[in-house]
Structure formats: structure tokens, C-alpha cells
Structure 1
Amino acid sequence: MSEAIKNRYEFTILFDVENGNPNGDPDAGNMPRVDPETGYGIVTDVCLKRKIRNCIETICEGKPGYRIYVKEGVPLQRSDKEAYTYLGTDEKDIKKMKTNDPELDKKIRDFMCQNFFDIRTFGAVMTTFVKNALNCGQVRGPVQLGFARSIDPVVTQEVTITRVAITTEKDAENKKTEIGRKYIIPYALYRVDGYISANLARKVTGFSEEDLQYLWQAIINMFEYDRSAARGNMAVRELIVFKHDSELGNAPAYKLFDTIHVHKKDGVVAPRSYHDYEVTVDEDKVPEHVTCTRMI
């Protein structure tokens, strides 16, 4: 594996949606997530990580060390068993083996981190190992995202749709169309801030410079390879990266994020495109020993 990163990073992503549902809430009929107090739109960190995972799986298909642990159709226990196979044991003998090998936890953790990009990046809770009283079951990843929030309050629209295909023979005797509903946001620009700890990368997962470049590529393209009817017009518009000169960092994260300003252009009341906004970075206010790069 490549050497772990040596610099701390913070980054900000701006992405938008047009006539779509960026993150439906299953507890609310799949309506777009909205903060009920302010009306601002929300997209969860889990949703964004899913997009990044899917993108990595696409651009790194078949590349050793870049498999995805949390993925559809693959039980986590199945992937966990690979570590036991690698060590030449199984769940039944693991406690006995741990008694004889104090480094067992580290060996399992390192195996999982080396083989699965998302464990190396975001960390993971590996229930199989937790149940067997192994300390490697919970891995804290160096890359963390918050919730994305829209720049302005959003308006959710319920759109009635019809189809000519009837579900059952009985229904076909009485009607010629069926009615359904879908929820959209006409337009919204979202912002999410992220953090990368070089300290955790070195001590825990081994997240490397090569991993970092793939992460930037996946963030930039996370909606390009994941189109659907609900998310047809979504795009990452900005990726602003702050690189510290050291492992532990040279400035508080909030000071860096405060240099980014997003606001509507003069005369715009209801934004309907990214061009209705202006994005600026006060680079002269970025602290010493921190470099700001606008990657898009």
C-alpha cells in the first residue's frame, strides 16, 4: 500500500439539483428532506457517501485495494469472512487465536483497510468482529462529511403523473390510466463541508495520496455516473480544497470555511440555475501555511 497522507485537509462541495429530489425521506413519503424550522433543504452525509462509493466502484473497477465494503447485494458478514480466511481461521476459533496473538485485531483491521476503499476512507462498523469481542470492529475513518444544506430555503412541489399501463386486469376494466405522484425541488444549491485527518490516516487506515486523488475525482463526478429520474439534473459545481502544511493543521476549520461566500446575484428572487449565484473565496484571509485550491 502507498504511504499515508501527510497533510490535513478541509474541503467544501457545492452541488445543485434542478427539478429533482436529491435525497428523499422514507419517513415522509420520500419527500425531499427539509429543516422544518427554516425551510432549508437537507442532504444527509450517508447519501453523499453512497454516491462517492458508487463512483469509486465505477472508476476503479477491478483495481486491487479499491473494493467497496458497503454495497448493495453483498452482506457485510460475507466480506468480513475474507479476513478470517486470510488469517487461516474462522469465527469459531477466533477467540482462541486472539489469546495466542495479541496483534490479531490489528491484522484484521489492516486487511480490511487495505482491501476496501470505503473503510480506508470513511471507516466502518464491522458487526461480525464486534460480536466476537474484537477491537477492530469499529474503524474511524479520516474522511468525514457533514449534512449538506441548501443556500436558500427550498420549495417542495408535488407533481401528479399518469401512466397508461394498468397494474391488474380487474383495474383495466374500469379505468384507462393510473395516477401517481412524485416530489421535486424546482432548483436548489447545496453546500457541504468535509474534513480529512492525516493523523487518523497514518495511525489507523493508511488513507494515501493515491486514495486522495481518487476521492477528489469521485466527488467531482459523483452525480455523473448515478443518474436517475429523480436526480437527472444534479451536478457538483464547486470543490474548494484547503491544504494545511502539516499533519495536525495550521488553522481552525471554521476560519477556512468562513472565507467562502455564496449569495444570490442582484435582482434574483427565485434562483433557477447555478448562474443565479455568485461564489467567492477571500483567499487573502486564508491563514498562513494553508493553501486554497478551487478544483472546479
Structure 2
Amino acid sequence: MSEAIKNRYDFVILFDCENGNPNGDPDAGNLPRVDPETQMGLVTDVCLKRKIRNYIQATKEGEQGYEIYISDKSTLNASDQKALEYLGISDLKELKEVKKKDSKADSKIRDFMCKNFFDIRTFGAVMTTFVKGALNSGQVTGPVQLTFAKSVDPIFPQEIAITRVAVTTEADAETKTNTMGRKAFIPYGLYRAEGFVSANLAQKVTGFSEEDLELLWEAIANMFELDHSASRGKMAVRELIVFKHDSVFGNAPSHKLFDLVKVKKHEDVEFPRSYGDYSVTIDEEALPAGVELQRKDV
């Protein structure tokens, strides 16, 4: 792995959803998430991180240093076990002996996990389940963090009845030829999420590198391309706007940079139904000294 990044970054993601459910809410019958006070749509940071993880797992499968810790293909303890094998530990009894002799055992485990798992190196992880708690490598705060995505305008969740030409049991087949179901969706929504990349945490904690950063931008730009489904409709990343600071700790507060990005619905549009119904402007003249604007290809 190469050395950790040396610059702080802040970024804005614009993505949209057409005739789909971008993030179902289990507390509301899996309807699209919405702020009940404003009717603005929401997509959780956890949902977006899942898309990024899935992209990395699909495109980097089998490559050293790019395993995924939070994965549907393995348990956390199975991933933790790899670190114990790295230290040459075979069972819990031996593990306890190692901890007595080596006060840095936990930190060695943490470093191994950061080096080998991309999502730990990027987003961090809480690793307190290690082999039934026998080894606690603690909480790793990752250098990359995301906010909830919020729709630019209110969304209008709908639920429609659907039929399927299939029945579950032989008894049902004697009396009916199809079954009824429900499908939740929004006609259209443009969402905005904001994120942060800390060079300080990358250098001091996880070793998140320039190569990791470029892969992150690639994964964000394509996070819906390998994740299409009938329930989510048509989703696409429309803009990835990056602010690069020329220092480790940054040259301006994140919120001031985010305020430079304006997304507005065209005046003659009442109900937006496409990305073309919006305009995106960035006040480059107000860009603080020491901050570079980058608009990534999507």
C-alpha cells in the first residue's frame, strides 16, 4: 500500500431516482424514506456506503487489500479470524497468552484489518466482536464520512397494487390464478448528499491512500450501475463535486464550501420529472484560497 493522503477533501453527490424506491423505510412499510415535517426524501448514509462496498467487492474481488468487512458473503467473526491467523494464533487459549505477553496485540490486529479491508480503511468499523470478545481492537474512525442524502424538493411517495401470475400453494391454485401485491415508489426525486475526507485520520489511523481515494471517486460515480433492481427504478449519479484543500487540516469550513453549490428547479417546472428540470451552479469566484474545485466525470 502507498502512503496516506496528504490533502483534506469535501464533496457533494447529486443523484436521482425515477419511478423507484431509493431507500425503503422499515418503520413505514418499506415506503420511501421521508422527513414528515418537510416531505423531503431521505436516503441514509448506510445505504450509500452499501452501494460503494458492493461496487468495490464486485470490481476488486480477490485483490489483496480490497476485501470488504461488512459483507453479505461472510460473518464478522470469519473476517476477524483472518487477523488471528496473521498473528499465528489458532485458538482462544493461545490468544489470551499472546495478549498477556504483547501489549500491542490489539493495535496489530487493527493495523492488519485496515491494511486488508477497504471499507475499514475508508469508513472505519467497530471491531469489538473479535472471537466472542476475547480480542478487542476497538473502534476505528474512518477518514471518509457521508451525510444522509436529502431530496432537493419534496417527494410524493406512492403505493400501487400489482398482480403476479403465480400462487404459493396447491390449494390456492384450485381457486385463483394470481396474487396481489403492493409496490412503493416515487415518480422522481433529485437527492443531495455531502461527504468529508480527513487526511489527518488517514495518516494517523487507517492509511487511506491516494489509490484508495481514486477508487472511492470511481465507486461513488458508479455506485448504482451494478446495483439496478426493479424496486429502485432508474437511479443514477448526476454530479460528483469535489473540493480539494491544499493542506491536511483544510483551508475552509466544509459548510461554507457546500453552500457554494446551488441546485434549483427551473421556474417553469411545477413537478420535476427529470434531471433536466434542474440547474446546478457553483460560485467559483467565492472559492476560498487554498481550495481547488474538481467536477468528476460521472
State the TM bucket, normalised to the shorter chain.
Answer: over 0.9
In the alignment, the residues of structure 1 paired with residue 68 and residue 277 of structure 2 have an alpha-carbon distance, to the nearest angstrom, of 37
SS at match of 1:73: coil
Give 1:128's aligned residue.
Answer: 129
The amino acid of 1:207's aligned partner reads F
How far did 1:94 drift? 2.6
SS at match of 1:93: helix
How far did 1:79 drift? 0.6
Q: Identify which range, 65-74 or 11-20, moves more after superposition.
A: 65-74
Q: Identify which range, 211-220 or 169-178, moves more after superposition.
A: 169-178
Contact 1:150 1:191 in 2 (8 A): yes
Instruction: Confirm or deny that 1:7 pairs with 2:10.
Output: no
In the alignment, the residues of structure 2 paired with residue 110 and residue 162 of structure 1 have an alpha-carbon distance, to the nearest angstrom, of 52
TM-score after normalising by structure 1: 0.97
SS at match of 2:92: coil
Q: Report percent identity of matched pairs.
A: 65
Change (3 A) 1:91 1:292: farther
Instruction: Confirm or deny that 1:218 pairs with 2:246.
Output: no
How far did 1:113 drift? 0.6
Give 1:100's aligned residue.
Answer: 101
The amino acid of 1:271's aligned partner reads P
In the alignment, the residues of structure 2 paired with residue 238 and residue 75 of structure 1 have an alpha-carbon distance, to the nearest angstrom, of 34
Provide structure 1 residue ranges, at least 5 long, that are not aligned to the other structure.
none
The amino acid of 1:232's aligned partner reads G
Contact 2:260 2:286 in 1 (8 A): yes
Give 2:56's aligned residue.
Answer: 56
In the alignment, the residues of structure 2 paired with residue 80 and residue 141 of structure 1 have an alpha-carbon distance, to the nearest angstrom, of 18
Q: Identify which range, 119-128 or 181-190, moves more after superposition.
A: 119-128
In the alignment, the residues of structure 2 paired with residue 104 and residue 200 of structure 1 have an alpha-carbon distance, to the nearest angstrom, of 21
In the alignment, the residues of structure 1 paired with residue 177 and residue 198 of structure 2 have an alpha-carbon distance, to the nearest angstrom, of 58
In the alignment, the residues of structure 2 paired with residue 105 and residue 285 of structure 1 have an alpha-carbon distance, to the nearest angstrom, of 46
TM-score after normalising by structure 2: 0.96
SS at match of 2:243: strand
The amino acid of 1:20's aligned partner reads G
SS at match of 1:95: helix
How far did 1:95 drift? 3.2
How far did 1:41 drift? 0.4
Q: Please tell me the root mean square deviation across aligned C-alpha atoms, in Å.
A: 1.2
Count of aligned positions: 295
The amino acid of 1:139's aligned partner reads V
Q: Show the 5 A alignment for 1:157-236.
A: 157-236=158-237
In the alignment, the residues of structure 2 paired with residue 29 and residue 73 of structure 1 have an alpha-carbon distance, to the nearest angstrom, of 26
1:113-144: per-residue Cα shift (whole Å, max 9, x none)? 1110000000011232392363x221110000
In the alignment, the residues of structure 1 paired with residue 113 and residue 103 of structure 2 have an alpha-carbon distance, to the nearest angstrom, of 18
Give 2:44's aligned residue.
Answer: 44
How far did 1:191 drift? 0.2
Give 2:153's aligned residue.
Answer: 152
Give 2:262's aligned residue.
Answer: 261
Q: Identify which range, 45-54 or 120-129, moves more after superposition.
A: 120-129
1:189-231: per-residue Cα shift (whole Å, max 9, x none)? 0000000000000000000000000000000000001111112
Instruction: Confirm or deny that 1:77 pairs with 2:91.
Output: no
Change (3 A) 1:77 1:133: closer
Change (3 A) 1:196 1:289: same
In the alignment, the residues of structure 1 paired with residue 59 and residue 73 of structure 2 have an alpha-carbon distance, to the nearest angstrom, of 19
